[in-house]
Amino acid sequence: MLVSGAWKENWQPVQQADDDGRFIRQTSSFRNWVTVEGSAGVTGSAGFKAEAGRYHLYVAYICPWASRALMARELKGLADVVSVSVVNPVLTDQGWAFGGFVGSDADELNGARYMHELYTHADPTFTGRATVPVLWDKHTGTIVNNESADIVRMLNSAFSQIHDSGPDLYPAALEAEINVLNSYLYSELNNGVYQAGFATTQFAYREAYTRVFAALDAMESRLADGRQYLFGDAFTESDIRLFVTLVRFDAAYYSLFKCNRNSIREMPNLHRYMHRILSLEGISDTVRLEHIKAGYYSIKALNPTGIVPEGPGSL
Ligand SMILES: N[C@@H](CCC(=O)N[C@@H](CS)C(=O)NCC(=O)O)C(=O)O
């Protein structure tokens, strides 16, 4: 991580745990918003007007949070409006690095070798982890925002005057319900699997495992009436959240994170739902199983040999 702008190599995947061994995730630090006119958004400062070609997304295919942003970009048809670079799936002792892995990119925009260089470019005294996703402003050469929840929301609405297509991911009529379901999906599933995987006590692991499967059971039942998506016919942010965890589950969370009561394959409604989303235009391009497996199984603290399992053959 970066400490006052200097990179420290003693990276710990479990950067923080509470007294019972529960994994604690760092909160995001850059919280400006791209808006239609460039006025300030919900947080941060003004000056980031939606313009075609102005913004760039830095992502990792392994990362469920970055993949949320990638999915929103595809669903909203913004591939020609917001450009993308993909880091290598493996966290090195310099954090995320560019180039050299099939399907990854060099940083042609800024010429960085490591993600942390972009953080210190944006803030020379930055302290924290150099995470993806990052939404970068090419005009001012800085990070607009590094919180995927915010980035999904701005991709949904800020670019409507430049390009307007795809579903409204956060329709006004559903806002309150989406907010409730989003926080549930975050704590029980998106972050819940990490809490199981990075728990440092049996107690914390069992607690997280139980919550993960309670939430999967709840979502399996929710889809039992044959609805297409979590809110019926409307595809929303909440579906992005559930999907990014489902699509990594059998390949990584089931085994590496010890969430092994059952696989997603064994939950017919969730399995069908996951494939329905996977078949939406552009979405399969955001899911690279080889990156997901290489990335998760390179976490030395959880898999010291670095051996990547052969299976599952398909999702
Ligand atoms: N709050 C962030 C979390 C992003 C995050 O944790 N990304 C992970 C990859 S999945 C990361 O970059 N980790 C690098 C590190 O912790 O050093 C978001 O949702 O955008």
pLDDT tens-digit map of 54-70: 999 999 999 999 999 99
How far apart (Å, rounded) are the C-alpha atoms in residues 58 and 107? 9
pLDDT of residue 197: 98
- Quick: pLDDT tens for 146-182: 999 999 999 999 999 999 899 999 999 999 999 999 9
Residue 201 lies in a domain: yes
Residue 96 annotated as part of some ligand binding site = yes
Domain that holds residue 275: 172-280
Query: Is omega for the bond preceding 133 within 30 degrees of 0, making it cis?
Result: yes
Nearest in space to 100 (alpha carbons), one of 264, 291, 236: 291
Asked whether the predicted pLDDT for residue 19 surpasses 90, the reply is no
When divided into structural domains, the chain yields a total of: 1
Asked whether the predicted pLDDT for residue 51 surpasses 60, the reply is yes
Alpha helix locations (H) across 198-284? 202-222, 237-248, 268-278
245 — phi, psi (to 5°)? -80, -40
- Quick: pLDDT tens for 72-88: 999 999 999 999 999 99
- Percentage, residues of the chain above pLDDT 70: 97
Q: 286: which residues sit within 8 A by CB, 6+ positions away?
A: 61, 67, 70, 71, 74
Residue 41 lies in a domain: no
pLDDT of residue 11: 56
Residue 131 annotated as part of some ligand binding site = yes
What is the rounded end-to-end Cα distance, in angstroms, of the chain? 33
pLDDT of residue 14: 43
Instruction: Write out the two tokens for 30.
Output: 């850059």
Residue 222 lies in a domain: yes
Active site residues: 63, 194
pLDDT of residue 18: 80
Q: Which atom of ligand 1 is nearest to the CA of 133?
A: 20
Residue 249 lies in a domain: yes
Determine the average pLDDT of the residues in 197-216. Answer: 98
Whole-number CA gyration radius for the chain? 19
- Tell me which residues have their CB closer than 6 angstroms to ligand 1: 28, 63, 65, 95, 129, 131-133, 146-148
- Percentage, residues of the chain above pLDDT 90: 91
Within a 10 A sphere around the Cβ of 242, how many other Cβ atoms? 26
Amino acid at site 30: F
Asked whether the predicted pLDDT for residue 15 surpasses 60, the reply is no
How far apart (Å, rounded) are the C-alpha atoms in residues 38 and 33? 8
Asked whether the predicted pLDDT for residue 275 surpasses 60, the reply is yes
Residue 113 annotated as part of some ligand binding site = no
Residue 236 lies in a domain: yes
DSSP 106-119: --TTT--SBHHHHH
Residue 185: give its domain's CATH number.
1.20.1050.10
Asked whether the predicted pLDDT for residue 25 surpasses 90, the reply is no
pLDDT of residue 29: 87
Instruction: Write out the two tokens for 178.
Output: 């989406």
CB 1 within 8 A of CB 129: yes
Asked whether the predicted pLDDT for residue 218 surpasses 80, the reply is yes
Residue 285 lies in a domain: no
Mutate-to-test residue for ligand 1 from 65, 127, 288, highest number of ligand atoms within 8 A of CB: 65
pLDDT of residue 219: 98
| Strand ranges in 128-214 using DSSP code E only, listed in sequence order | 134-137, 142-145
Q: How far is CA 203 from CA 22, 194, 208, 237, in A?
A: 9, 15, 9, 32
Mutate-to-test residue for ligand 1 from 16, 117, 131, highest number of ligand atoms within 8 A of CB: 131
Poorest-confidence range of 3-7, 63-67, 194-198, 237-241? Answer: 3-7
How far apart (Å, rounded) are the C-alpha atoms in residues 119 and 132? 11
How far apart (Å, rounded) are the C-alpha atoms in residues 299 and 17? 17
The CA 57 to ligand 1 mean position distance, Å, reads 14
Residue 74 lies in a domain: no
pLDDT of residue 264: 98
129 — phi, psi (to 5°)? -90, 145
Residue 209 lies in a domain: yes
Confidence band, pLDDT 50/70/90 cuts, at residue 22: confident
Angle at 300 between CA 189 and CA 278, to 5 degrees: 40
How confident is the prediction for the chain on average, in pLDDT? Answer: 95
CB 6 within 8 A of CB 126: no
The CA 26 to ligand 1 mean position distance, Å, reads 8
Confidence band, pLDDT 50/70/90 cuts, at residue 16: low
Determine the average pLDDT of the residues in 110-132. Answer: 96
| 57 SS3 class | strand
CB 267 within 8 A of CB 276: no
* Number of DSSP helices (H) and strands (E) in the chain, helices first: 9, 6
Residue 130 annotated as part of some ligand binding site = yes
The CA 226 to ligand 1 mean position distance, Å, reads 34
Nearest in space to 71 (alpha carbons), one of 133, 119, 162: 133
